[in-house]
């Protein structure tokens, strides 16, 4: 079976036929970067909160318990 190689290869910045290009390649890369950074930050927060909770529940040091309580109450600062 013969495959037309030109049909399978498209330029990365080429829009689908009949569809307008809304963003330039530079803007698209910037938006993708913002998306990845925010997703990784959110994932980090979702992993840190249970870890802090377990630390606060298992420690016997009152200062550590208080610090965990303060961070979990207001994680943004």
Per-residue pLDDT band at 41 (split at 50, 70, 90): confident
Q: Evaluate if pTM is beyond 0.85.
A: no
Q: What percent of the chain has pLDDT over 70?
A: 70
Range of the domain at 47: 22-73
What is the pLDDT averaged over residues 19-47? Answer: 88
Higher pLDDT, 33 or 14: 33
- Which whole-number Å values give the CA distances from 62 to 40, 65, 69, in the listed order? 32, 5, 10
> Does some domain include residue 62?
yes
R_g over Cα of the chain: 24
| Within a domain: 17 | no
Establish if 61 belongs to a structural domain.
yes
Does any domain span residue 15?
no
Q: Into how many domains does the chain fold?
A: 1
Query: Sorting pLDDT into bands at 50, 70 and 90, what band is 21?
Result: confident
Instruction: Please report, for residues 6, 62, 70, 76, the alpha-carbon distance to residue 15 in angstroms, rounded to integers and kept in the order given.
Output: 16, 59, 49, 39
């Amino acid at each position: 079976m013969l495959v037309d190689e030109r049909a399978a290869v498209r330029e990365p910045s080429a829009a689908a036929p009949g569809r307008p290009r809304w963003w330039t390649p530079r803007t698209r890369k910037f938006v993708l970067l913002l998306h990845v950074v925010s997703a990784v930050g959110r994932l980090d927060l979702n992993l840190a909160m249970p870890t802090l909770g377990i630390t606060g529940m298992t420690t016997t040091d009152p200062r550590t318990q208080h610090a965990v309580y303060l961070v979990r109450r207001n994680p943004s600062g």
